[in-house]
């Protein structure tokens, strides 16, 4: 699959995922909120590691830097 997430986007998603995981681990949230936040954190972490976001593909978004061609 072609990557569609730039470095800044990947870093932001990883930071958000870590923050959500910390909220869950420190028991700030519990119950259904805990499960939902852990799933969101897992998706954010996975997409930031792989560099591909299925939602971006659906909407035709791409935050990767454009490659320059030398003439």
pLDDT at position 65 is 80
Q: Is the pLDDT of residue 66 over 80?
A: no
Which of the four pLDDT bands, split at 50, 70 and 90, describes residue 71? Answer: low
Q: Is 70's pLDDT higher than 90?
A: no
Q: pLDDT tens across 19-59, in order? A: 999 999 999 999 999 999 999 999 999 999 999 999 998 99
Phi-psi region of 40 (alpha: psi -120 to 50; beta: other; left: phi over 0): alpha
Q: Which residues contact 47 (CB under 8 A, 6 or more apart)?
A: 5, 10, 13, 53, 54
Dihedral over Cα of 37, 38, 41, 46: its sign: negative
């Amino acid at each position: 699959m072609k990557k569609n997430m730039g470095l800044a986007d990947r870093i932001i998603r990883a930071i958000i995922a870590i923050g959500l995981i910390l909220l869950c681990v420190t028991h700030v949230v519990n119950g259904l909120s805990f499960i939902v936040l852990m799933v969101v954190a897992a998706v954010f972490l996975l997409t930031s590691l792989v560099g591909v976001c299925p939602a971006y593909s659906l909407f035709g978004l791409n935050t990767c830097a454009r490659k320059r061609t030398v003439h």
